Structure 1
Amino acid sequence: MRSVLFYISCILSFSCYYNPLVNSLLNPPETQENNSALALLGLSGPSLLITGQIRYANGEAEIGLLLQPGKLYAPHSKSTAGYVTDAGGRFYVPYQTGSIPFTVYKNGSYLFEFSLNVSSPSEISFTSYGAAPSLEIIGLGTISANSPPNFFELVGAYYLDGEMNEVVIDKTNHYTAVGSLILKFNANPAFVEPNDITWIQNAIVITPSPSVGYQALGIVGNRITFVGAEGFSMNTEYNINVTNHIKSESGISLTPRKIRFCYEPSIPCIF
């Protein structure tokens, strides 16, 4: 009876860590499964979060994706438990080392799968399965779980065709010069004077340079429209670097992006 009372007392007081059974119950080994389960249950977990952005090569972010822990290889249904990408296409998941698998859903349908490979807070990579060739996971890193996210992201890039339609710029071949460029962000950009050429030249860098760069800009909501560029050369591959010179209303610098496209190729560019 005395030994039974002692054992119960140990459990209630949380002080008998030398007991292997009690220790295994109170201090389970830190594993990938345990950390994920704690996070999904809303219990105390790590002080760091792993973050990354899911987007296409042109900058179009995937917003509202559900990242369900575990790989299921093209399942027909999904769980409601998981992590959802924000207005910048970013996910935030509890930090742990090792391989962390996810199945990704878009509007309730299977999209692709990936695993984060984590060696340390500064060494994070990924492998994917079933993703479209132009889909990217970039900007991998860690942030404090106690600090609000503060990323300013490009979530779309377009130009206006001859019919004033918005055409997504991507790694394909275009037959209209990008004389008007529209950039969409996950938050409102800071105000800039419409004719501030110096600011424009620092914000948008085109390589090779057209004969005339962008001459004016307009800001409406979360979009900046650049106009006036001329002199794009045919059969040429261009890079548009969107720089951290662009800032949000709250002063956050943009995560830089590079957009690649070909203008009027007689032979399609291969990226």
Structure 2
Amino acid sequence: MIPISLKKIASITNGFLYGKNIIINHISINTKKVIPNTLFIALKGNKFDAHNFIKEAIMKGCSAVITNRKIISCISYIIVEDTAIALGQIATWVRNITNPKILAITGSCGKTSVKEMTASILKKHHNIIYTMGNENNHIGVPITLLKLKQTDKYGVIELGSNNPGEIHYISKIAQPNIALINNIYYSHLEGFKSLLGISKEKSEILSYLKYKGIVIINLDSHHLSQWIKKIQNKKIFYFSIEKKKIVIFLLLILKCMQIKHVLLCIHHLVI
């Protein structure tokens, strides 16, 4: 990641800095990954509280801590209201200050494979970052973005969700230049109740698409009508196995949105 001062981090997170204003070169949420000049962020979940491991992080050499309460410490620390939100705020700042082109990928299935293939191609010729494994949630995506450096040209970010609102939040952090909705299929119905609920959630990837951003849509997905308003005035690439759906969907957009110009590039995907 790029070096950042504790004073700047306190400003980004609306936190209060206690102690010296030092420069941080690493951020970690895991005590096992603490190295010199590391800022340890103590996350609190439903089943764990990393505040219980602050002493361990200090013993392992971390230089500062982000916490949601006052602590007795010989090192600097920042108090914030919510440490998970603070993690996202720092990641957003890093994403904007480095300004790579971000490709965000979501869908009911296959998104990890698409992410891995895309990253494999890009990293042959460019400096990139990409989500590792299935770190595609509100914690994994910020951790991935924190790895960005000024020399990185692209970021390939997978966005996953088990419940409504999650993709909206992580899309706000990632701010993609290109958004791909791979498909809509039956998955995580316990959180979304229906295919319509899944379609609405996946469409949130479009909410924070950068100006002049590109949208890539699988026209064989369910409930495409949910996306019409969000793709207005965007450069759109479609792919479909059922060719006739392309024309039907284009006419639907023109009719509902009265769009004068729709840039349509048709790509056929063979899986």
**Higher-helix-fraction structure:** 2
Query: Normalised by the size of structure 2, how large is the TM-score?
Result: 0.24
**Higher-strand-fraction structure:** 1
Whose radius of gyration is greater, 1 or 2? 1
Q: Which has the higher contact order (CA 8 A, sep 6+)?
A: 1
